Structure 1
Amino acid sequence: MTRGVTDPPAGGALPPDPAQDPAQAPAPVRMPDRRGIDPPTVLVAHGCWYPSADPTGEHVAFICDRAGVPQLWSGPARGSEVHVLDGDPHPVSEVSWSPDGRWIAYTSAPGGGEHTRVLVVRPDGTGRRVLAGAVPGSSAHLGCWTRDGTALAVTVAPPSPAGSEHAGTGHLPPDAEGPPTAAGGAPGPAWSERDGPATLLDGGEARRPARPYPEPSVLHASRPAGSGAPAADPARARSGGLAAYLVDPDGANAPVLLFSEEGAASLRVCDLSADGRFALVRRGPRGRREALVLDAASGRTTFALHAADGDPWIGRFSADARTLWLRSDAEREFAALLRVRLDEGGASRGLSVAAEREGSALDLLSVPDHGRWAFLAWNAQGATELESVGLPLGRTDGGIAARHHPVLPHEVVTRIAPLERGGSFAALSGSRRRPGIWELDEALLPAPTGWTARDEDTVPPGRPPVRPATLRCEARDGLVLGGWYYRAPEQEPGRPAPCVIHLHGGPEEQERPVFSPLYHELLGRGLDVFAPDVRGSSGRGRSFVDADLGAGRFAAIDDVADCAAHVVSLGYADPLRLGVMGRSYGGYLTMAALVWHPHLFRAGVAVCGMSDFATFFAGTEPWIAQSAAVKYGHPQHDRELLRALSPMSRIDQLRAPVLAVHGEHDTNVPPSESEQFVRAARARGVPARQLTLYDEGHEFLRADNRRLYRRAAADWLERHLSPAP
């Protein structure tokens, strides 16, 4: 039942509902108000991103690193006076202003690690409290608001049970479903199984797979008296996994358990229908995401469809909940806008493609509450093409019509915050500017906000940013790869230069033409940069993303060498002065390239990379292990494949000096992955060092640490790629 209170207990913690698991249900915890704090020292060169507007569109909350760390800021849409709402040194990653304008919700990471928490604060900086993730060892992620703004959906990952940390193969349960097996128990051809008619790049036959992960264990918590919904089973709730709750930011009602799933890789409530009957949930591991429409009262799944990777906000219900607008790549290579007609019970009455582009994926979908129009951001070879479209109302099958196609001042849109009255705020980034927020009017004509850094403040005077050129190259098996080449300004025309191959993370990320302070640093040292999209990257269709699964990862490692050979063949790069570096999955590829192609590269910088899949699975977060098993292989069923793919298995081949960089609080890829690679390299007489960044996790978010990292990496590469004396 729902409990009402007039005064929360001292400290702001609401007592848990006895019908729910007291160890898991989030309890709001009050924090000190930020009103009246001293204004931070403001950096001239800063970025602003992730805007969220109040209901009037007159004020905007956003993330800004102008104080040296990404924090929550707010200010008038058409003024320049902004203020910080949370001055704590904990990086903020997501922001959402409530539909009633009373609260701003956001996600922060204490200590810069991977364990995040969800907080709310009033627009004037008062009433700050943690809604979920306050329990040590737990983690929480932001979901959607109810349409009236009275409650916020959050996803909670409880602390691991006592004694279970780093237990077994990546915390996967012994009976976790692995890849399908062939006769005799040997792993079957799971890596080529997927939905849809797309042609696989390894020549395998595409076919519809068995379900690659278990059905969700959907639970429902207690509801107000008379709702008819039974109480949650506390024994099931205590069993771990991920759970989604509705939390009252005012603390007048106990948290309500919506749904939970044991062994979940991800779970996010993306939208709730206006009447609260249905929830749109995104779940599943990377590459196997699924959109579910769930009946909030019974927990029953009424509709399910494959959902696209990338931005987690995959869709919205229409105002009458009879249409679901969904960003999906089900049965297709590139994500499109799908229209799902729903009946009274939330089941599908028909599915159609509302908007699509040949060879281009829908990256972002943003729909205001009224549902009369939507903003669509299309990925065009890494850049963004933005359009607004009108959406049909009611239960008719009317088509959508494009309204505006603006010319953007910068290449990439990373977030769209729609306004009920029309127009939006958009976060833009480009190769020659830091991230900023622009206001788009109803015709989508852009104008920078007064608190966005000017383009001329992107870097100190005298060395402007470099605009990259697109390159296409062919892998040894004929697959066409691509990327962006940055030529150092001082290079002599036509003369081969020292070059660094930089590899992005993911592996499903994509290299995009946005300003990189790291590239700027390397270019300033006279080093060219080639940033390719090897197989497994996004932006080129699902078959390209799936091309590195399982044993296909050996080909991805060869792609790194083929990209280096291509820029050498063009006369851009000096074959005797090649370096390689990358972060996260790119850090893994860096280590792999150094031991699989030991005579190609003269130096490497591996950042937060996996050096051994067995130790990675044993040490990473449970939900990360679930997703990673789909991408790399199951730690039990594919033990031999993972051993063969691990750079540590070939460490005796390492020849090039290597610098490893890691955040001390990284629980995505534990720092021990770098430590063991460096120790093994030194034991074999190869120069190797490790730089550990304090108060950082898997992402480096503090200005001083980012500067230290850039300079250390550039020093290392410049030293080892310089001409021989």
Structure 2
Amino acid sequence: MPLEQTQPVTHALGTAGPAAPPSPAPVPVPLPDHLSADPPTLLTAHGCWYPSADPTGEHVAFICDRAGVPQLWSGPARRPEAHILDGDPDPVTEVSWSPDGRWIAYTSAPGGGEHTRVLVVRPDGTGRQVLAGAEPGSSAHLGCWTRDGAALAVTVAQPSLSGAEHAGAGHLAPDADDAPSTAARTPGTAWSERGGPATLLGPPYVRAAARPLPDPGRVRGGGLAAYLVDPDGAHAPVLLYGEEGAASLRVCDTSADGRLALLRRGPRGRREALVLDTASGRTAFSLHVADGDPWIGRFSADARTLWLRSDTEREFAALLRVRLDGDGRGRDVSVAVERDTSPLDLLNLPDHGRWAVLAWNVHGATELESVRLPPTDPDADAGPVDLGPVHRAVLPHEVVTRVAPLERGGLFAALAGSRRRPGIWELDQGLLPARAGWSARDEDAVPPGRPPVRPVPLRCRARDGLELGGWYYRAPDRDPGRPGPCVIHLHGGPEEQERPVFSPLYHELLGRGLDVFAPDVRGSSGWGRSFVDADLGAGRFAAIDDVADCAAHVVSLGYADPVRLGVMGRSYGGYLTMASLVWHPDLFRAGVAVCGMSDFATFFAGTEPWIAQSATAKYGHPEHDRELLRALSPMSRIDQLRTPVLAVHGEHDTNVPPTESEQFIRAARGRGVPARQLTLRDEGHEFLRADNRKLYRRAAADWLERYLVPHPAP
């Protein structure tokens, strides 16, 4: 794609003519090379994930936590040696090798917080620079490379205006409760400055197509803007698209000639794909797409076909073919590949577009296949897609988390399993797997003497008849006929899904003699759009009841002791944990709430603007649905709390501010309920550092063991 050598020009959404961008263009910042840094102490048990290969397929860049924190590594595909490309302690989250092989782009989180930045480095570790997100308080996210590798797309987020800084003690919170509370903030105060068209119980989400972008100095609600940035610095950044009050924005692909760009935008449950005319800023085509993996599709080599992963007008995401005219407008949409009961999880295509890699979610496990795509024929009549042969892989792990197809054929896949740490495998053109030498061995997954546990799938029915799924882990020394203590673990999202992947937390609990049941309550993905939407609005009360119904089910099976039940979860699962403790106060004997929301009013007032925009589509609007959100907030029923509770939070979490945990723990202590808080230093919403992750899972296991496992009197 040609880059202008002038200042970038932006366009209003769906209109012609210039307008001011919602965020300033990123300014690259060079960084010192890390090559002189002392070599880190390496862990035997480690994970590798998110592979991206060079154009030859002979070298792979990937994320690895062997030095204790997820960092950028690179190594030859078929030899065991590998080296760190960025020695900074900032966790890395995504990786992308440029099509011309000259640069490796990646996203990192300074200090472990939620604000991220996009960097590039040369394959030899030199030339490291921040391309976007270097400004204080700003955030940037990785997009695609142009097909020739001349520019990288990045999304820049306007700095949050909340000004909130969270000071974490880094230890269990003291018993004193004289810290200032945020619960007294006026509900909706910050939201009134954000505006935004998203409502849940009112009109549906509508993109403000004709509204011009405001002056950045007047944007109070935050904005997202997508730029093309030249890593070599020869050309100024080019603004592709901008939106005030946006919930998400990512550039997923550009056509080979640079005329068209594929964008993914919108809040959770309301995502859409946009085909953008890069010259005029006009949206040529749009279509609803599925949640989940943000890399939703790619153009064919001639840009006359767009392949999309979408669940529009269907329960499960499928592979769709969109035929485009010369201006990027959609001529017709047809289903290329679909399954009746399984969603398409991952879609990836090489630049030539002759074949695609498809990862299907089959009740939490993955089925991986490659299909040959038909050549583009713009003059052909619309009709069924005639696909070529299908090759299916025999996988050594249960779940595929990322695929990186190679131009020469074959691919690299990041695999995860219930008894193995995440690793990267190379699959040849027949999809026969071979483990990369720098991935951890399966026998190094857990300490000697503690065998990993394979979970069994469970299905149960909620009180209203909705069928729920999940995975049950039984402590290895448990007598199969004897019920024991059990922890109900609740995933985040709520659109995440419980999948059979290796969990050090679960193995810590199992080693303490605690069973784990990890269910998918309503709102989870993997079971169809209707199941995802079943918790919207007042349906969230039923999701809270699902937790109790899951506990009752494992008790009825004779697995769990009804008087030794615990509940814990992270993010939305942390919210559900707090909610379950106050809605079903006599069911659980202990709880651990991790990064959970305790009051929707203070959550919306304190979270990032783009998080708030996205959250309205799931939970409700903080003004329009204020009474519903108040009724759904655990703080509104804190007088019902009787169960000892531990809260865990990262000090730099700006998705769910630490004050959400603090106010719940403070209120619990005020009622005389045993309650403590663990605040982890240098962590955000995700806990990424090995020492903090160990501290977290041991503190959680200590708390649950104390209240659920009887100990003989001394």
Asked if TM exceeds 0.5, the reply is yes
- Residues 281-680 of structure 1: pairs in structure 2 closer than 5 A: 281-395=263-377, 396=380, 399-680=386-667
Structure 1 residue 436: Cα displacement: 0.1
1:103 corresponds in structure 2 to 103
Give the structure 2 partner of residue 205 of structure 1: none
Gaps of 5+ in 1: 6-17, 181-186, 191-209, 220-231
What is the alpha-carbon distance in structure 2 between the residues aligned to residue 106 and residue 464 of structure 1?
A: 35
Larger mean CA deviation between 37-46 and 507-516 belongs to 37-46
> Which has the bigger relative contact order, CA under 8 A and spacing at least 6?
2
- TM score, norm. by length of structure 2: 0.92
CA deviation after TM superposition for structure 1 residue 163, in Å: 7.0
CA deviation after TM superposition for structure 1 residue 399, in Å:
1.4
Q: Contact 2:82–2:438 (CA<8 Å) still a contact in 1?
A: yes
User: In structure 2, how many angstroms separate the alpha carbons of the residues matched to 1:358 and 1:520?
Assistant: 34
Q: Indicate how the Cα distance of structure 1 residues 602 and 591 shifts in structure 2: closer, same or farther if over 3 A, else same.
A: same
How much does 1:162 deviate?
Answer: 8.5
Cα distance in 2, alignment partners of residues 103 and 93 from structure 1: 17
Query: How far did 1:694 drift?
Result: 0.2
Give the distance between the partners of 1:381 and 1:569, measured in 2 at CA.
Answer: 23
Label 1:236 to 1:256 Cα distance change in 2 as closer, same or farther (>3 A).
farther
Deviation sequence 1:189-247 (CA, Å, 0-9, x none): x6xxxxxxxxxxxxxxxxxxx4445338687xxxxxxxxxxxx9877889841000000
Question: What is the aligned partner in structure 2 of residue 262 from structure 1?
Answer: 244
Tell me what 1:177 maps to: 197
Structure 2 equivalent of residue 149 of structure 1: 149
- Structure 1 SS opposite 2:309: strand
CA distance in 2, matches of 1:164, 1:718: 35
The Cα offsets for residues 658-683 of structure 1, whole Å up to 9 and x where unpaired, read as 00000000000000000000000000
User: For residues 239 and 582 of structure 1, do their structure 2 counterparts lie closer, same or farther at Cα, with a shift above 3 Å needed?
Assistant: closer
- Residue in structure 1 matched with residue 37 of structure 2 by the alignment: 37
2:259 is the counterpart of 1:277: yes
Task: Kindly indicate whether the alpha-carbon contact (under 8 Å) linking 1:172 and 1:626 is maintained by their aligned counterparts in 2.
Answer: no
Whole-angstrom CA distance in 2 between matches of 1:22 and 1:670: 25
Q: Is the 8 A contact 2:143 2:250 kept in 1?
A: yes
* Partner SS for 2:431: coil
- Structure-2 change in CA distance of 1:593 and 1:403 (3 Å): same
Matches within 5 A, 1:122-271: 122-161=122-161, 168-171=188-191, 173=193, 175-179=195-199, 188=202, 210-215=204-209, 240-271=222-253
Query: 2:13: which partner in 1?
Result: none
Name the CA shift for 1:178/1:283 in 2 (closer, same or farther; >3 Å). closer
For 2:631 and 2:671, the matched residues in 1 are separated by 20
Q: 1:650 to 1:263 in 2, by over 3 A?
A: same
**Which secondary structure state, in structure 1, belongs to the residue aligned with residue 475 of structure 2?**
coil
How far has the Cα of 1:34 moved from its partner? 1.9
Structure 1 residue 158 displacement after superposition: 1.6
- Give the alignment of 1:11-160 within 5 angstroms: 24-160=24-160
Counterpart of 1:626 in 2: which secondary structure? helix
8 Å contact from structure 2 (residues 23, 216) kept in 1: no
> Structure 2, unaligned stretches of length 5 or more?
8-17, 166-184
> How many Å apart are 1:39 and its aligned residue?
2.1
Report the secondary structure of 2:85's partner residue.
strand
CA offsets, 1:348-397, max 9 Å, x none?
Answer: 11110000011000000000000000000000000000000001112156
Preserved contact between residue 22 and residue 244 of structure 2 (Cα < 8 Å): no
| 1-structure distance, mates of 2:196, 2:441 | 51
8 A Cα contact 2:317 2:344, kept in partner: yes
Once the two structures are TM-superposed, the CA of residue 401 in structure 1 deviates from its matched residue by 2.5
SS in 2 for 1:660: strand
Q: CA deviation at 1:492?
A: 1.4
